[in-house]
Amino acid sequence: MSDTFRRPHDPMVVVRGLTRTYGTGPAPVHALRAVDLEVRAGELVAVVGRSGSGKTTLLNLVGGLDRPDAGTVEVDGTEVTALDDDGRSRLRRDTVAFVFQTFGLMPALTAAENVGVPLRLRRTPAAAREERVALLLDLVGLRDHADQRPGELSGGQQQRVAIARALAGSPRLLIADEPTGQLDAETGLAVMALLRAVVESEGVTAIVATHDPVMMSLADRVLTIADGRVGE
Amino acid sequence: MRTLPRPHGPSVRGRLRTDRGLLVLTAAVVALVTALLAAVGPLTVRTADRAVAASVRDAGTRGAVVATVAQPDSRGPRRRDPGSVERLAGDVESARSRMPRVLAAAVRPGVVSLTSKPLQLTDAGPGRYLRLAYVATASGPPSVTWVDGEAPASSAAPGQEAVVVDAAAPPWPVQVGLSTSAASALGVGAGDQLEVEDEARRSVDVRVSGIFSPVDPDDEAWLAQPGLLSATTGTTEGVVRTSATALVGDASLPDLRIGVPSDDLSEQVSFLPVPEDVTWRGAPALRRAVVGLQSGGQGELTGTGFDTLLDRVLDDALTQVATARGQAQLLLVGLTATALLVLVLGAQLLVRRRAGTLALARERGAGLLGLGLELAVESVLVTAVGTALGLGAVLALLGPEGWTVAPSVVLVVVVVAGLAAPVLGAVEAARATGARRVPANRAARRALVQARATRRLLLEGLVVTAAVLSLLALRQRGVGDGDLAVGSVSTWWALVAALLLVRALPLLVRPALRWARRTSGLSRLVVVARVAEAGTRALPLTVLTVAVAQLVLGVSLAATERAGQEAGARVAVGGDARLRASPEPSLVRTAATVAAAPGVRTAVAARVTDARLSSSSQAVDVRLVVVDAAAWARLLDDSDLPAGSGPARLEGPGRVRALVSGGSAAVGEGAQLRWDDAVVPLDVVGTAPQVEGSAEPVVVVDTRALAGAGTTAPPDTVWATGPGAVEAVRAAAEAGDDVTTYAGVLAQRRAAPLPSALVALAAASALVLLALAALGVVLAATVDAPARRVSAGRLRSLGVPDRTLLTMLTGELLVPVLAGVVAGLVAGATCAAAITGHLGLEVVTGETAPPSLVVPWWVPLAALLVALVVPVLAVREAAAVRRASLARLLRGGGPG
Ligand SMILES: Nc1ncnc2c1ncn2[C@@H]1O[C@H](COP(=O)(O)OP(=O)(O)O)[C@@H](O)[C@H]1O
Ligand SMILES: [Mg+2]
């Protein structure tokens, strides 16, 4: 593992020359063109840009869900772009957590069980796990819905469960791609406020791709992405 | 009138393309099942024909139809009739013409015989008897070679052929020939003039013209009078009695008619059935003809009466065939039911895959009828192709003869295969659009749930009732041909087991879920939660349970039948090998020699004979076994033969102790054994085992005990066990002795048409059931594959390692399969135990009591072969999950 004695304001994410091109034919799509950026620990960064501008591509590469054509990504001192499948699996388990636009919950498990999945993955003892799950459900305001399945919850509730689950494993980096995309304005607002709050309380770093001006106002920093290039 | 909506051609074609694999599979199942059902018809008819023919063949002369022709009055002067031979041939013709046409067509040309009663030789010593017999087939008397003297000639001087003999004249001489065996048994030779007289002490003048040996001892003519070729020696009331038959020829036949008082003569025409001409389908008509012929009462009117056991032979054969067909039906009904369930499962999968398109089409305003029709077009197409393939294959393999498809059964398969998809599809489409009509009102929702629960209870009640009724029917009337109520008994009980499983599995999953929640592992929670969500569906569980239950039943029936044949063969022989000779004290030494031979473990000499057992209240014919109790006990022990109460009880002081089977309780006090002229009081100390498949009660006494009571019974039998027994017994046998081996009897029973066909059917249906069960597992897995892939992909995005994912997929797929297999095993074994006693297996194996159930140890392993599909599926699904790009997860498209 990498150096564990990192100071709080060291960069959590360092991206250098990141390039991703889809397709090789006569009309390749240059989704990212040599992007450089840094995100400091504890920061909440909003990535904004029109649809098709490359937000998702960037987040995928940072989280190790995809591989770049060129460039490097370093998360918490680990070079993500150099990891093999197992390494990236471990990265997702230990360091990075995702919040998906479509929530990505397990339909067969209850809200509490969904939140407990990352803890079970590390074989956290049952008592400690239950305690943390209860805490997180409290945090996202779903204490009374612990035993409901995703199918029995509203979209906003499901996304809150997803956020609780993302936080359960105490990740260093939270990646959320348009987390409010499928929610109505009011619910979206609540979810965004929740994200802002947990970044403070849990001390995680977050990168959130969004269209939403409210999210931009809540972010520490806003990165604009256009035509595969990033600017402040 | 509204015109029917027309199916949309391009979308039908498009669906045919996308679901090609599934449709081909459906067609294959339809083809397999129609082929099987279509083949069963002609195959069972062939088997039944062979079985009936074999029964008739095995019955031998017992199956002959014998006409007895009344003889003219004997008083007064008798005229010698030179046309006697032609007259007998005429009697054959007239007997045949009296038979119903179906019977006449199924018998060989008649064998006529004119036979005297046994006449006693009075010249030297008592106990020698001679019959005079003339026998002829259509081609005349049997050919013989004269080894001494010459053929019997006419006793009439030339020109005197039609002489009239006065009643007071001395007996008219009759020239006869004797077989070498008869001549030596009676101690007479060529040229001897014998002093003989009948029961009424009327003299007959018999002159032995020569001694012959038969050219063909198997000639039908000899069968009519076996005594012509071999003399028999027996003991009646303590006196040795030798009987033989003398041959009268064409030339001396007129002399027989006047030389022997006509009330001492009997004329019979014997017609042996041609086994190959007696078919199963023709047997009932033939049997009716035989019964009608015997009860016709025409004997008094025409002077010709008919007598035969052929009706009983046919009866037995028909019962055997009906029983075997009933047993086969048990397997076929289960097979068909399983196939139908698989077809419905396939249709369900098809419809589920199309749920989206169907709902869409419905929302766009397509009528349910139109949707159903569109789906029907392809399923009818698929079914037609499958049916044509199946029937075509059978036609090609078996040919057009014997073509008797059971149309109703094939029809059921075709209808279910053709309608399942359209009906389920229409229901699915209706539900998709009707979903929003779920009542908002809580009471109305509860009513809906209650209605559903009531429907389910009703269905379960129906299945349980059917199961109970069919079991009662089986217990009441046993299996029978075409008796579907009884034939479906195992299927119903398998369905009951499946219903139980469907009810029980959720109840079992609940505590498992509670346990998994409490623990810290992830896999077990995911597996149990997924099983709770998707693994308790009724149809896949039912397919597995029914298939495995029928598999267990079929295999157990075959194994039980084979074990029954082994036990039956061993009892029939009495050991590994048996020597049967004429009673002779020296056989005790022979037994000792056999016992000392290499590879022989035990050998014992015994007397097996007919006797009577009487008490103050009754008397019965019994099979008497006189044997060295201690030696016999060792033999029984060594060969797993039934021992009854055990020969050990036979030894002891006091009266002669006996084991008595069948009705021993009724004999009770004052039992007496009557054998020869001896009367031996018995002390019944236990139950005798079955000996040599005797139908009569068996009485066993110890040799020394019987000798102690003053009666000696020289042995006529040696039983031996051990790998060298056959060889040793063969070596010890002398000419004329009979050697029977366990292996020989068993092979004969195994090769019999009905048992071998049943075993083959059980094996074939076991394989098909395994394939159907595996197919059911694959289909059920495919139904759920999308949901499983979604959850696996999501877990992967959380960093669950691939190995853990594979474990989860395997566990999730395996649990319902194991549940179904276990339920099927239990159901099959229980059902087999409950019904084997009522299936009439003994009718087919040739035992006297139902064989005890054998469930082979490897049956669970065979059933678990189905579970082998699971790892294959899991590996494939895990690979698919791995291939799916995780990058698509963030895009909201989900994995895959
Ligand atoms: N798998 C892919 N194959 C080809 N082109 C893709 C693929 N994924 C994304 N793209 C293209 O790359 C560009 C960036 O896409 P994306 O990162 O999804 O943008 P955003 O998330 O900002 O909408 C778009 O033009 C999109 O069409
Ligand atoms: Mg995007």
For A96, nearest residue in chain B (alpha carbons): B798
**Bridge partner list, A47:** A209, A223
Ligand 1, residues A20, A22, A101: which to mutate, most atoms within 8 A of Cβ? A22
| A18: pLDDT strictly greater than 50 | yes
Interval B57-68 mean pLDDT: 87
The sign of the CA dihedral B143, B149, B154, B157 is: positive
- Give the residue carrying structure tokens 């699915």: B428
Task: Write the DSSP symbol of residue B475.
Answer: H
Determine whether the interchain pair B520/A181 forms a contact, defined as Cβ–Cβ distance below 8 Å. Answer: no
What is the A114 CA–ligand 2 centroid distance (Å)?
A: 25
What pLDDT does residue B648 have?
81
Q: Could you report the per-residue pLDDT of A49-99, keeping only the tens digit for each?
A: 888 899 999 999 999 888 999 999 999 999 999 999 889 989 999 999 999
Kindly provide the b/e burial profile for residues B231-250, where b requires at least 16 CB atoms within 10 angstroms of the residue's own CB.
Answer: beeeeeeeeebbbbbbbbbb
Q: For residues B85 and B668, which has the higher predicted lDDT (pLDDT)?
A: B85
Among B339, B490, B402, B558, residue whose Cα is nearest residue B38: B402
Left if phi > 0, otherwise alpha if psi is -120 to 50, otherwise beta: which for A77? left
Tokens of A202: 């849990």
- Which has the closest alpha carbon to B563: B851, B171, B216? B851
pLDDT one-digit tens code per residue, B346-372: 888 888 877 777 777 777 777 777 777
The average confidence (pLDDT) of chain B is: 85
Measuring CA to CA, which residue among A41, A170, A166 is closest to residue A105? A166
> What pLDDT is stored for residue A214 in this prediction?
83
Stretch B112-140: mean pLDDT: 88
Distance between A152 CA and the closest CA of chain B, angstroms: 14
Whether the pLDDT of residue B339 is over 80: the answer is yes
Which of B390, B397, B401, B396 is CA-nearest to residue B281? B401
pLDDT: is B518 or B159 the higher one? B518
Tell me how many degrees the CA angle B89-B91-B97 measures, rounded to the nearest 5. 110
Query: How far away, in angstroms, is A52 Cα from ligand 2 center?
Result: 7
Q: What's the pLDDT score for residue B6?
A: 59
Q: Are the CB atoms for B679 and B672 separated by under 8 Å? A: yes
Starting from the edge strand earliest in sequence, which strands make up the sheet with A221-226, in order? A96-99, A173-177, A205-210, A44-48, A221-226, A229-231
Give yes or no for residue A4 having a pLDDT over 50.
no
Q: Which residue's CA is minimally distant from atom 24 of ligand 1? A: A52
**Which CATH superfamily, name and number, covers A41-66+84-231?**
P-loop containing nucleotide triphosphate hydrolases (3.40.50.300)
Comparing B56-60, B531-535, B617-621, the range with the smallest average pLDDT is B617-621
Nearest to A129 among B520, B532, B791 (CB): B520
Residues 6 or more apart whose Cβ sits within 8 Å of residue B589: none
CA–CA gap between residue B802 and residue B812 (Å, rounded): 15
**Binding site membership of A57 for ligand 1 (Cβ less than 6 Å):** yes
More confident residue, B682 or B236: B682
State both tokens at B766: 């076991």
Judged by CB atoms closer than 8 Å, whether chains meet at B522 and A98 is answered as no
Who contacts B533 (Cβ-Cβ below 8 Å, separation ≥6)?
A107, A108
Distances (CA, A) of A126 to A116, A137, B526: 10, 16, 16
Q: Which two tokens stand for residue B666?
A: 């009724």
Each residue of B412-443: b (16+ CB within 10 Å) or e? bbbebbbbbbbbbbbebbeebeeeeeeeeeee
Between the CA of B879 and the centroid of ligand 1 the distance, in Å, is 25
The distance of B523 to chain A (nearest Cα, Å) reads 9
Give yes or no for a contact between A61 and A9, defined as CB atoms under 8 angstroms apart.
Answer: no
pLDDT tens digits for range B563-577: 988 888 888 898 999
Find all residues with CB under 8 Å of B725, minimum gap 6, and list them. B575, B576, B577, B594, B599, B600, B601, B603
Residue A204 binned pLDDT confidence (cut-offs 50, 70, 90): very high
The sign one gets for the Cα dihedral A156, A160, A163, A169 is negative
**In this structure, is the dihedral angle defined by the CA atoms of residues B681, B682, B683 and B684, taken in order, positive or negative?**
negative
Strongest mean pLDDT among A112-121, B84-93, B96-105, B845-854: A112-121
Q: How confident is residue B186, by pLDDT bands cut at 50, 70 and 90?
A: confident
Look at B143 and B669; give whichever has higher pLDDT: B143
- Mutate which of A24, A56, A60, A66 for ligand 1? The one with the most ligand atoms within 8 Å of its CB, which is A56
For residue B515 the two structure tokens come to 């346990």
**Do residues B550 and B768 lie in contact, with contact meaning Cβ atoms separated by under 8 Å?**
no
* Residues ≥6 apart with Cβ < 8 Å to B387: B30, B31, B34, B410, B413, B414
Question: So where are chain A's domains?
Answer: 41-66+84-231
Q: How confident is the model at residue A220 (pLDDT cuts 50, 70, 90)?
A: very high
3-state secondary structure of A38: strand
Residue B422 is predicted with a pLDDT of 82
pLDDT band at B12 (very low <50, low <70, confident <90, very high): low
Rounded CA gap, B886 and B252, in Å? 109
User: Which secondary structure element, helix H or strand E, spans residue A205, and what is its range?
Assistant: strand A205-210
**pLDDT of B739-794, one tens digit each?**
999 999 999 888 888 888 889 889 989 999 999 999 999 999 988 888 888 889 88
Q: To test the ligand 1 pocket, which listed residue (A21, A24, A53, A62) has its Cβ within 8 A of the most ligand atoms?
A: A53
> B803 CB near a chain A CB, below 8 Å?
no
* Residue carrying structure tokens 């009331």: B237
Do A65 and B798 make contact, defined as CB atoms within 8 angstroms? no
Sign of CA dihedral B649, B654, B656, B658: negative
Ligand in nearest proximity to the CA of A101: 2
The kind and range of the H/E element at B145 are strand B144-149
The reported pLDDT for the residue numbered B481 is: 75
Whether B65 and B310 have beta carbons less than 8 Å apart is answered as yes
Q: Which ligand is nearest to the CA of B887?
A: 1
Picking from B519, B791, B801, the nearest residue to A126 by CB comes out as B519
Which two structure tokens, joined as six digits, stand for A132?
Answer: 């943390």
Burial of residue A213, with CB atoms counted within 10 A of its CB: 0-12 exposed, 13-18 middle, 19 or more buried: exposed
pLDDT given for residue B2 in this prediction: 45
Closest C-alpha among B761, B811, B785 to residue B37: B761
Q: What is the predicted pLDDT for the residue at B621?
A: 81
What's the pLDDT band for B122 if we cut at 50, 70, 90?
A: confident
Phi, psi of B582 (to 5 degrees): -75, 150
Please compute the mean of the pLDDT values over residues B615-626 and round it to a whole number. 82
- Chain A contact probe: residue of B798, B800, B807, B809 with most A CBs at under 10 A: B798
Residue matched to tokens 């229901």: B427
Report the separation in Å between the CA atom of A54 and the middle of ligand 1, taken as the mean of its atom positions. Answer: 6
Phi-psi region of B244 (alpha: psi -120 to 50; beta: other; left: phi over 0): beta
Number of CB atoms found within 10 A of residue A200's CB: 11
Report the amino acid identity of residue B342. Answer: V
Domain ranges of chain B: 65-272, 510-572+748-896, 582-732
* Contact status, residue B278 vs residue B286, Cβ threshold 8 Å: yes
Q: What are the pLDDT digits (tens) for B370-389?
A: 777 877 887 888 888 888 89
Encode pLDDT of A126-139 as tens digits.
999 999 999 999 98
Which of A94, A105, A125 lies nearest to residue B520, judging by beta carbons? A125
Flag whether pLDDT at B312 surpasses 50: yes
| Three-state secondary structure of B577-643 | EEEECCCCCCHHHHHHHHHHCCCCCEEEEEEEEEEEEECCCCEEEEEEEEECHHHHHHHHHHHCCCC
Residue B793 to chain A, least CA–CA distance (Å): 9
If you average pLDDT over residues B510-530, what whole number do you get?
A: 94
CA distance A164 to chain B (A): 13
Q: Looking at the CA of A32, name the nearest ligand.
A: 1
What would the DSSP string read from start to end of B399-448?
A: -STT----HHHHHHHHHHHHHHHHHHHHHHHHHHHHGGGS-SSHHHHHHH
H/E stretch holding A32? strand A29-40
Residues 768-787 of B with CB under 8 A from A: 787
Q: Quick one: average pLDDT of A111-137?
A: 94
- In this predicted structure, the answer to whether residue B47 has a pLDDT above a threshold of 70 is yes
pLDDT reading at B175 higher than 50 = yes
- Within 525-554 of B, beta carbons closer than 8 Å to A belong to 525-526, 529-530, 532-534
User: Is residue A205 predicted with pLDDT exceeding 60?
Assistant: yes
Q: How confident is the model at residue B1 (pLDDT cuts 50, 70, 90)?
A: very low
Assign residue B583 a region: left if phi > 0, alpha if psi is -120 to 50, beta otherwise? beta
Instruction: Give A64→chain B minimum CA distance, Å.
Output: 9
Cα A213 to ligand 2 centre (Å): 16
The residue behind tokens 């006797």 is B611
pTM confidence score = 0.84
- The answer for B 447-476 residues in CB contact with A (under 8 A) is none
Q: Decide if pLDDT at B256 tops 50.
A: yes
Q: How many residues does chain A have?
A: 232
Model pLDDT for residues B395-410, shown as the tens digit of each residue? 888 776 545 556 667 7
- B531: nearest CA partner in chain A: A108
Which phi and psi angles does B35 have, rounded to 5°?
-60, -45
Residues 6+ apart with CB under 8 A from B24: none
Residue A7 has pLDDT above 70, yes or no: no
For ligand 1, whether the C-beta of A56 sits within 6 Å is yes
pLDDT tens sequence across B800-816: 998 999 999 999 999 99
Q: What is the interface pTM, i.e. ipTM, of the complex?
A: 0.91
- Asked if B798 and A119 count as a contact pair (C-beta separation under 8 A), the reply is no
Confidence at residue A1, expressed as pLDDT on a 0 to 100 scale:
40
Rounded to 5°, angle at Cα B537 from B533 and B539: 165
Among the listed ranges B115-129, B524-538, B849-863, which one has the minimum average pLDDT value?
B115-129
Q: How far is CA B654 from the centre of its chain?
A: 46
B55 vs B753: CA distance, rounded Å: 10
**In percent, how much of chain B has pLDDT > 70?**
92
**Inter-residue contact B112 to B91 (CB < 8 Å):** yes
Q: Cβ separation of B522 and A94 shorter than 8 Å? A: no
Q: Identify which of B518, B532, B800 has the shortest CB distance to residue A121.
A: B800
CA nearest A104 in B: which residue?
A: B794
Structure tokens at A147: 């035993």
The pLDDT of residue B499: 96
* B463 pLDDT higher than 90: yes
pLDDT of residue B432: 66
Q: What would the mean pLDDT of B870-896 be, rounded to a whole number?
A: 78
pLDDT tops 50 at residue B895: no
Residue A19 clears pLDDT 60, i.e. is over it: yes
Between B419 and A158, whose confidence is greater? Answer: A158
Cβ-based contacts of A175 with chain B (< 8 Å): 890
Beta-carbon separation of B520 and A60 below 8 A: no
Residues 6+ apart with CB under 8 A from A165: A97, A105, A114, A115, A117, A118, A136, B798
pLDDT tens per residue, range B406-462: 666 778 788 888 888 888 888 777 776 665 556 667 888 888 889 989 999 999 999
A193 lines ligand 1 (CB under 6 A): no
pLDDT of the residue at A174 = 94
Q: Which positions in chain A have a beta carbon within 8 angstroms of at least one beta carbon in chain B? A: 56, 59-60, 63, 65-66, 85-86, 89-94, 97-98, 100-102, 104-109, 113, 117-118, 120-121, 123-126, 129, 165, 175, 177-178, 181-182
